[in-house]
Structure 1
């Protein structure tokens, strides 16, 4: 971001003091060093000028440039707290640019200052919306979810509204959940008309489903049910994904995206057929040459093939495909994701020894990933009747339940503690932050093949959801409908 063309504004002007003149000369040298690619030399030179009392006497444009370039260097050197402090000062100037606000945003993310990150996104969206292309949609979603968990509703609402007003697009409709949550915030602030306008942008079938079953959204959904037709929206998503596959024949991510949607509609044969070419290229050894994202995406293409085969009851074939996926690297290292999925498949087949052998020791994992891993280990322990391991894994899952409350729900079912499972479900329905996930899980979905182990889990879940106290709580906050799609995976 700091390039060779940078030169301090104001050099050569008459200066009010010897100190200011000296500071200007020092900056001239520092910017020259930056232009020559010697940031290591420039950093202490910039720090010295910024710390000097004479810094405040420099022209505003020069002070902005100095703080901005110093922030860029600190960010590149992974001195994130320093970069954040400098970027905050830089963006306080009228001369601040979208690039400066973007540096502040990245520094805020690295220092986990999510409220400030939200303010940065808001500022960029309002003044330099084209700069949003420099921010990954996942990063913006991460900020939103962090703000939601922290109940920073004012910052969150301002950020989301600025994104909406800027007509921010994230590709496909995977981030429509942001518009759903903005609509809810507006409903809660008695801005029903604005909420209805925001909701019109929603094209994601699962987001629409989560709204039509949640009574908080009734002011929007009851008046225009056709806009929340799940089957219609999912079919439109499939057609969009088909077009993306055709437009980008060198990208497997597009294939995987289409696989995801076809699985939801139960079109399992097509999930396999659209990915047969990728498998053929992999077997010939020219996958890397054929697809630009082969190393990142091929394991997930195989993952989805396994899932489609499992939904057809072709268990041996499903194991074969997931095994192939698990043997491939993930992010350049051991494949933790597919190893967990393979182990989970073996536990569904009541083969705990094979499940245990499938698990690889992970390195760094997200809190959600740790919950998934511990749940699989719990399944193995239960199927082996290992009381000590059961207690240990249940203790971990309970302690960390807020990292993934749906996994804790499944753990209670797997453990056979239906009273606790019902109490948790009621708690989730009553808690605004957990309600949507609980309602989505309670819906009735299309049939897919199940193993005896999976059928037992379904029977326990049905026993829990049919309890009078659960039904009474449900009636207050939502409703259950039947949808002709496969139940979402959790």
Structure 2
């Protein structure tokens, strides 16, 4: 962003003595009131350059708009016109005027020599505007056009977008294939490769999927490939032998341990977070607390956004371990502390949702509603909104708030494919075993959804520290998944495994 602003400023006639800093995200008008030009376009260009250099980005945005509206703008040299167009896109994006920014960024990315940072800004803007398909398509173009840029893009962001369920299936397929073709590999990308296997099989390209099987190293993802019968021919071609489940999970945990112990510097906390989370899933709660306490005792580098996020998630995992050990007051205090932390400089939506769920588990339904108040599409992904609405639905049902309950359940029903587990557990909150059974039958009949129901029917470890709320939900879920028609539908498409790990967590 900085170098792009600097180059654009120079092209527009600004002094090229120093690169301006990024603009503050203050509120400015998205459009300037312009009238017949009282200044020449060259005078405006000099003014624009001075404002960028000052820096006064609010004024620079207004001046850029005046330059673009000037009658002499069309006759300006191409490079200078492009610089102003680029600045209109970048400045509007920086001031969060996303609708105003997008047309300029689309125009700028139509030039053959546009920098990759401009393309990535366009992706960000499209995501803010909730145009998930457009953002996915734009990111695919970035990956194909600038494969060398992949190391500069957040790995977490790539994992999230490549495995997201909220994009058009064909757009998501194109992104996953582009990442694979570009040589992108990530040890946490097993589910991305499972999705790409599904994509290729759906397009009758199963032979190409064989090479992906060795990339699936996460044991739960491996379980899916061995459990669902639709993969049998693929696994045979890939030479997959008998699956040693215990060995796979132990190997994965050991890899996480080594990474946590061997990694230093900026990535150390991230690797510890992954290992601590893995220990939680194995039910090793005392170890979770010991390692979490040691990690949280280290001085915090508040300027490192990724480290701050890892720290927050370690707090979240610590709260879960405390709950599993029956230390509920400590768990709540820890989850409240996690929810109070910023998330990438913004309100911490993820931890607020998790806090809301913890309140539900503790029977504090009014507090659960307060925790997720106001969370919608402007604050969270489609998956995140489903989780927030799930909390809202369960709390409203418990409180007898019929209007809020009806609104929440209507949303969950309409959007249940965004987060099937959220819909399942919301149905469990009101004791609707019939609804859960119907959902599972729908999932098992559809290859695109079957993985969720199949995963629900594995024999997972039994968690500890369960509350009355947890036990009530599990009774309803167990009633649904043991119905003969559900078992028969499952057995037609999958196998059941006993797994040395806790199952689905909110």
Q: What TM bracket, shorter-length normalisation?
A: 0.7 to 0.9
Moved more, 287-296 or 433-442: 287-296
Paired residue for 2:114? 96
* 1:442-453 pair list within 5 angstroms: 442-449=457-464, 451=466, 453=468
Instruction: Tell me: CA distance 1:103–1:290, structure 2 relative to 1, closer, same or farther (3 Å).
Output: closer
Paired residue for 2:391? 373
Shift of 1:160: 1.5
C-alpha distance in 2, partners of 1:345/1:339?
10
TM-score of the pair, normalised by structure 2: 0.76
Instruction: Tell me: CA distance 1:129–1:415, structure 2 relative to 1, closer, same or farther (3 Å).
Output: same
> Structure 1 unaligned runs (5+)?
12-21, 347-351
- The answer (yes or no) to whether the contact 1:118–1:143 under 8 Å persists in 2 is yes
Instruction: Tell me: CA distance 1:323–1:40, structure 2 relative to 1, closer, same or farther (3 Å).
Output: closer
The DSSP-based 3-state class of the residue aligned with 2:171 is: helix
Match of 1:118 among 136, 141, 146: 136
- The answer (yes or no) to whether the contact 2:269–2:310 under 8 Å persists in 1 is yes
Paired residue for 2:317? 304
Match of 2:278 among 256, 261, 264: 261
C-alpha distance in 1, partners of 2:12/2:386?
49
Does residue 326 (structure 1) correspond to residue 338 (structure 2)? The answer is: no
Instruction: Tell me: CA distance 1:474–1:180, structure 2 relative to 1, closer, same or farther (3 Å).
Output: same
Paired residue for 1:16? none
Moved more, 85-94 or 189-198: 189-198
C-alpha distance in 2, partners of 1:70/1:394?
44
C-alpha distance in 2, partners of 1:68/1:410?
47
C-alpha distance in 1, partners of 2:265/2:10?
45
- The answer (yes or no) to whether the contact 1:184–1:217 under 8 Å persists in 2 is no
Deviations along 1:411-447, one digit per CA (max 9) or x if unpaired, are: 4334333333212221222244432222111111233
- The answer (yes or no) to whether the contact 1:430–1:473 under 8 Å persists in 2 is yes
Paired residue for 1:273? 290
- The answer (yes or no) to whether the contact 1:325–1:338 under 8 Å persists in 2 is no
Instruction: Tell me: CA distance 1:391–1:59, structure 2 relative to 1, closer, same or farther (3 Å).
Output: closer
Paired residue for 1:184? 198
Shift of 1:32: 5.1
Instruction: Tell me: CA distance 1:410–1:93, structure 2 relative to 1, closer, same or farther (3 Å).
Output: closer
- The answer (yes or no) to whether the contact 2:372–2:392 under 8 Å persists in 1 is no
Instruction: Tell me: CA distance 1:363–1:355, structure 2 relative to 1, closer, same or farther (3 Å).
Output: closer
C-alpha distance in 2, partners of 1:129/1:64?
25
Deviations along 1:151-189, one digit per CA (max 9) or x if unpaired, are: x2332222221111222345x40x432222122111111
Paired residue for 2:149? 131
Paired residue for 1:422? 437
Moved more, 22-31 or 411-420: 22-31
Paired residue for 2:17? none
C-alpha distance in 2, partners of 1:162/1:468?
43
Paired residue for 2:37? none
Paired residue for 2:179? 163
Moved more, 360-369 or 258-267: 360-369
* 1:218-297 pair list within 5 angstroms: 218-223=232-237, 224-226=239-241, 230-246=245-261, 247-248=263-264, 252-278=269-295, 281=297, 288=300, 296-297=309-310
Paired residue for 1:80? 98
Instruction: Tell me: CA distance 1:398–1:450, structure 2 relative to 1, closer, same or farther (3 Å).
Output: farther
Does residue 396 (structure 1) correspond to residue 408 (structure 2)? The answer is: yes
Deviations along 1:305-350, one digit per CA (max 9) or x if unpaired, are: 4534555xx42x3x1431231341523479634533432443xxxx
- The answer (yes or no) to whether the contact 1:49–1:55 under 8 Å persists in 2 is yes
> Structure 2 unaligned runs (5+)?
15-39, 376-383
Shift of 1:84: 1.1
C-alpha distance in 2, partners of 1:42/1:447?
60
Instruction: Tell me: CA distance 1:66–1:196, structure 2 relative to 1, closer, same or farther (3 Å).
Output: farther
Q: How many residue pairs were aligned?
A: 456
Moved more, 82-91 or 462-471: 462-471
TM-score of the pair, normalised by structure 1: 0.79
Deviations along 1:437-478, one digit per CA (max 9) or x if unpaired, are: 221111112334465845565454333223222123223433
The DSSP-based 3-state class of the residue aligned with 1:484 is: strand
